[in-house]
Structure 1
Amino acid sequence: MQSTTNYSGPVTNGRGLTFTESVSGCFSKAFVFTGRASRAEYWWFALFTLLVSMVAGIIDQSSYGEPATVTAITNLLILFPSLAVNIRRLHDTGHSGWWYLIILTIIGIIPYFIWMVSKGDDRQNEYGAPV
């Protein structure tokens, strides 16, 4: 009898993916729109972008007032890494990256959020092996 093991998510040296590993990985794969991204990689990077955006907004409000120069530069720096990790996360759940456009509709945010929190495919799918 062959035993099967369940995929439990990304593991680096026997431990889960850390905040730092996720952020550095997302920036190093900023223009990689193929492959898959785990929930940990996606959500750690989402937290990073939220924190960085908040800090940029605070700096803009306290230093520059109306023009959001720091926020604009920050958003440009995280644009492609964010887009890439979103598409790779969709791939992990078995969806094409084109489904990212669903967030342009109000109702589309609901299935999109469900896909982002869902466990990825345990086995290889058309986008590659589990991460």
Structure 2
Amino acid sequence: MGDEENLPNTVAMLGQAYSLLGFKIVDGVVGAGYPQKPKHSAVFAQIRPEGSRVTDLARGANMTPQAMGELVDELVELGYVVRTRDPDDGRAKLVTLTARGQDSVRAGMATIQGIEDQLDALLGPEGRQALRRLLATILTAVPD
């Protein structure tokens, strides 16, 4: 019990885990040949296969449309996404993944699976499932 008293609070530990895992995912994607920055995951985590509007990406990432637009601009320059006309509204643009962007997402998913495997090794499959249940409880109980 004494060791637990020396640990940061739960919220701080969740934040540290989030940062650590985010950097591990980016390292895996970059290591697979798809250079990007951790902040770009705000786009990759939100974009739908059929494409997404910048405003929807921003809302999902809890950031301003202007900040999301800057991230999208960077990813356009890197060849991961393109802006296309929204077929439902000719005045709007959709952000869609290029083939390179899709490959980057696949590299990210492979990295995430590797992390899941590491969690199984560390916690055991039952421990990882218990962690998932606890996190799901927190995510569904905490209001927006």
For CA contacts below 8 A with separation 6 or more, give which structure has more relative contact order: 1
TM-score, normalised on structure 1?
0.36
| Structure with the bigger percentage of strand | 2
Higher helix share: 2
Larger-gyration structure (1/2): 2
